[in-house]
Amino acid sequence: AIMKVKVISRDAEQYTRKSSKDIHPMQTNVAPHLHPLEAQREYRRALNAVKLERIFAKPFVGAMDGHRDGVYTMAAHPQKLNCLMSGSADGELRIWNLASKKCLYSTQLHERRINSVCFSPKGDLAFSVSDDQTIKFLKTRRLGLYSQYDGEEVEEPTTIIGTTYLKGVHHHYSQDMFATCGGEVELWSHVRAEPLRKLTWGFDTISCIKFNPVQTNILATCAIDRSIALYDVRSQSPMRRVVLETRSNSLSWNPMEAFNFTVANDDGRLYTYDMRKLSRAMMVHKGHTNAVMDVAYAPTGREFVSGSYDCTLRIFGYNQGHSREIYHTKRMQKVFAVEWSGDNRYIMSGSDEMNIRLWKSTAWEKVGAKAARQKAADLYNERLKARFQHHPEIKRIARHRHIPSRIRFATKKHQIMESAQKRKEDNLRRHSRAGAVPFKNERSKHHVREDK
C-alpha cells in the first residue's frame, strides 16, 4: 500500500537572514480580525513618521562659489544629470560638475552681463546672450564633460552680432534653430549670421522666451509691458497675447502637460495658464512676499520651484495655491535663477551674492544608496502619512516650517492689506446699486485684456 506523508515546505528566503547583522524575518498573519487595534497602531506610526520627517528635513546640500558677480542665469544639461551652466553679471560663463561641486570650465565670454544661457537638445552646444548685443555659442565636448576629449584644446566660441539688445535665448527642441528676444523676437540658424525671421508684437522689451517641449513650433514670451505672448514659428504673425496688471519676469512650460505654463510675476505670485484659454488663470500660487524672478518645472510636471526677491525658494504643486516647502539660508540674497535636475532629486539656485546652491527637492530624503528594506519602510511611511494627512495633529506637524522673521512679518502685512482691500470692495458692493461693483474671482481679477 502507498502511504501519503504531508510535510511542511518553506522557502529558505522567508526565514534566513541576508547578513549576520540583519534582523530575523518574522511571519505575520494579516487577517483583520486578529488586529482590532490596527487603525490606532497605524496612526501612531504615521505620527512618528511625520515627526521624523521634520527632524531630518535638511534640504541644503552644498554651495559652489567662484563667480565674481551675481549669478543671474542658469541652464541644466539635457542629457547629463551632473552638469550645470551658469552666467554672471560680469560676463563670465562657468560649467559645473554637481557631483564634485567643482568648476569644469570658465571663460570671460562677454563684456557685459549675461542675460540668458541654454543648451542645444543634445547638449553639444551652449548658447548665451548678453547686454553687449552679441550671441555666442561654443561646443561643449572639450569643456570637461566627456572624458574621451580630455586634454584637447578648447575651440573658440562663435560670435554673432545681434541687431538689438538681447535679453533671452532658447533652443528649438527638434531643429537646428534657436530664438532670441530683446527688442523683438528673432529666429536664428546655427550656420547663418543673419536672423531667419523676426516676430514682433508691440515695441516694449521682451525679457523671457521659451519653446514648447511638445508642440515645438510654439514659443511663449514675457515682456515688460506686462504682456505674455504666444508665437508660432511657422506663421508670420503672433498667435495670442494676454496683458496682466503687473510684469512677468520668467516663464516655464509644464513638460508633461505642455499646453500649460507658469509665469513668475512682480506681484509675488505665480500664475498657471492654459494656452488654449488665456482669459483666466488656471491657478494662482501665493506665498512669496516680493517679486518672483524665475520659475522651473520638475521633469515629472507635478511640481515647480520659484526663486524670489525675498531671498527664498518655494516649491509648489502644479495645482496647489500654496507652497509645500520654503528654502532659505542666512547668507542667501535675492534669487534670480532656479533649475530642477533631470532625476527629480535636486534643485539648483543662483543668487545675488555670487553663489550657486544645491538643494534636495525632498527635504527629508536620504542622499545616497538605500537598502531594499529601507526603501520599503520609506514607502510604507509615505502611505501612512497620506492616509492620515487630514488628522489635526499630523497636519499641524507636517505644515510647520521655520521661517525668517522678516518673511513672517511681511506675510502678515500682505494678509492685512488683502483683507482691507476685500473689506473695501464688500462695502462698495453693499452700498452701491446691484451690479455696479461686479465680483471678480482671484483667477481672473489680475487679467487686463486678451489680444488675438
pLDDT at 151: 57
Instruction: Say how far apart CA 421 and CA 85 lie, in whole Å.
Output: 43
Which pLDDT tens digit goes with each residue over 410-428? Answer: 999 999 999 999 999 999 9
Instruction: Say how far apart CA 348 and CA 373 lie, in whole Å.
Output: 30
3-state secondary structure of 223: strand
- Quote the cell numbers at residue 120: 542645444
Residue holding cell 541644466? 76
3-state secondary structure of 66: coil
CB atoms within 10 A of CB 429: 15
Instruction: Say how far apart CA 108 and CA 100 lie, in whole Å.
Output: 23
CB atoms within 10 A of CB 83: 24
Q: Give the H/E segment covering residue 52.
A: helix 38-55
pLDDT at 164: 82
Phi, psi of 385 (to 5 degrees): -65, -35
pLDDT at 152: 67
Q: 71 Cβ partners below 8 Å, 6+ apart?
A: 86, 87, 88, 336, 337, 350, 351, 352, 354, 355, 356
Instruction: Say how far apart CA 172 and CA 121 lie, in whole Å.
Output: 8
pLDDT at 411: 94
pLDDT at 169: 95
Q: How far is CA 125 from the centre of its chain?
A: 23
- Quote the cell numbers at residue 281: 488663470
- Quote the cell numbers at residue 78: 539635457
Amino acid at 188: W
**pLDDT one digit per residue (tens) for the chain, 452 residues:** 678 888 878 788 778 888 888 888 888 888 989 999 999 999 999 999 999 999 999 999 999 999 999 999 999 999 999 999 999 999 999 999 999 999 999 999 999 999 999 999 999 899 999 998 999 989 888 776 766 556 567 788 889 998 888 999 999 999 999 999 998 899 999 988 899 988 887 778 899 999 999 999 999 999 999 999 999 998 877 889 999 999 999 999 999 999 999 999 999 999 999 999 998 999 999 999 999 999 999 999 999 999 999 999 999 999 999 999 999 999 999 999 999 999 999 999 999 999 999 999 999 998 888 888 899 999 999 999 999 999 999 999 999 999 999 999 999 999 999 999 999 999 999 999 988 888 888 888 888 888 88
Residue pair 201/229 in contact (Cβ under 8 Å)? The answer is yes
Residue pair 215/251 in contact (Cβ under 8 Å)? The answer is no
Please report, for the chain, how many H helices and E strands are present, in that order. Answer: 4, 29
Residue pair 132/115 in contact (Cβ under 8 Å)? The answer is no
3-state secondary structure of 116: strand
3-state secondary structure of 432: coil
Query: Which neighbouring-strand residues pair with 359?
Result: 60, 347
Residue pair 352/334 in contact (Cβ under 8 Å)? The answer is yes
